[in-house]
Amino acid sequence: MNYRKDIDGLRAIAVLPVVFFHLGWGAPGGYVGVDVFFVISGFLIGSIVIREIENGTFTLLRFWERRVRRILPALTVVVIATAIAGIVWMIPSHLE
């Protein structure tokens, strides 16, 4: 599948209700944004898997390798930043 700007735009729009909900800006439908984001992501991942199966190039190991390469860097940054913020701003009894 070629890169599609329209789908990236839809994903960005789907994230907005979630962000507005967490900021308290009167967006009660934050969960809808999560659902739409997951549906679009599932479409993209499913399309890639189907194409690879049809081409005979799909392997589960390669699928998970791509997932880990995409998600692990951001996860690492978030976990480290959260740990540092917790140490800086929380009192010791809350860290237990």
86: left (phi over 0), alpha (psi -120 to 50) or beta: alpha
Domain boundaries, the chain: 1-58, 59-96
Where do we find the tokens 């900021």? 23
Q: What is the pLDDT of residues 51-80, one digit of tens each?
A: 999 999 999 999 999 999 999 999 999 999
pLDDT tier at 1, thresholds 50, 70, 90: low
pLDDT in tens, 2-12: 778 888 899 88
